[in-house]
Copies of this chain bind each other. A is one copy, B any other.
């Protein structure tokens, strides 16, 4: 019997990607797909005709609780903050794609997510490659977005093995779909085409999230580059004295030997085009042992491994399915 799932926030870019992925997933039955508000009109999504022909209905926690075993949330932070624990309390397992539940430190969360009230529900940080063991019993999973996923997958094993020294610079280049579906001056085609822009410099909450997962100071700068899907992170750090090329390669290979969605490209650096429309994260690096400079590159599709695909990977593991089901 199939697992019944719902999607709340199904009309945004991540929500539509979730519909595409879950519609063809052999073990899931998408019983419910909702918008982001209780007063929205029910409607069809013409772009999904013959892919998922259901109707998008207004947001209703009661209906989600009545019809699903698991729910994906792609809602504004403050809405997710109440809907998520509410669903968990009613026995529904929740996979949240917002930033609401990601920061463990309450003071940091208050600062960066001021609209989010406190909650008691235990949270699993949904980066399956590093929290796989916690997923089978998880009830509320905070799935990290594109920026932390790429940076943490690249750096976490090296931090854990204590190969690095000093600060980290993460220079991220993101496709415009990462800025969301709402039309703004920033997302106008003519403002983005032929241009590059930095934003949130020295003040971006995803930088704090990366610091949480690495336990190390991070200078994080996101940029919008003129493409639709995918991010590319260039990471600058120094290795400890004596660390050599094989230390880096061996550490990463051990960490991801069983990870179906992490590909280590060594010094053939990754490119966005090789990962878009997949759940893969590609990681490459160059190291100069003399100056101890290490430059890493990590790429992924912000709507798949950075959003919908990662959430589905979490659900697969949470329900005891093969991690790759519906994601190849």
Residues of B within 8 A of A193 (CB): 176, 189, 226-228
Instruction: Choose the segment among A99-107, A141-149, A245-253, A266-274 that binds chain B (4+ C-beta atoms closer than 8 Å).
Output: A266-274
Query: In the complex, what residue of chain B is closest to A275 when comparing beta carbons?
Result: B47
State whether B273 touches A195 (Cβ < 8 A).
yes
Task: List which A194-213 residues lie within 8 A (CB) of chain B.
Answer: 194-199, 201-202
Q: Does A305 sit at the interface, judged by CB under 8 A? A: no
- How many copies of the chain does the oligomer comprise? 4
Residues of B within 8 A of A236 (CB): 169, 171, 219, 221, 236
**Chain B min CB distance to A238 (Å):** 9
State whether B226 touches A226 (Cβ < 8 A).
yes
State whether A198 touches B234 (Cβ < 8 A).
yes
State whether A286 touches B181 (Cβ < 8 A).
no
State whether B263 touches A194 (Cβ < 8 A).
no
Q: Does A156 sit at the interface, judged by CB under 8 A? A: no
- Docked complex Cα distance between A8 and B183 (Å): 26
Q: Which positions in A face B, CB cutoff 8 Å?
A: 13, 24, 46-47, 49-51, 169, 171, 173, 175-177, 181, 183-185, 187-199, 201-202, 217, 219, 221, 223, 225-230, 232, 234, 236, 260-261, 263, 265, 268-269, 271-274, 276-278, 280, 286-288, 291, 293, 295, 297, 299, 328
User: Given known contacts A187-B189, A190-B228, what 7 new A-B pairs fall within 8 Å (CB)?
Assistant: A47-B273, A191-B273, A194-B276, A196-B230, A196-B272, A202-B288, A225-B226
Ranked nearest first, the 3 interchain pairs of A and B with the lowest CB-CB distance are A195-B273, A183-B183, A196-B232
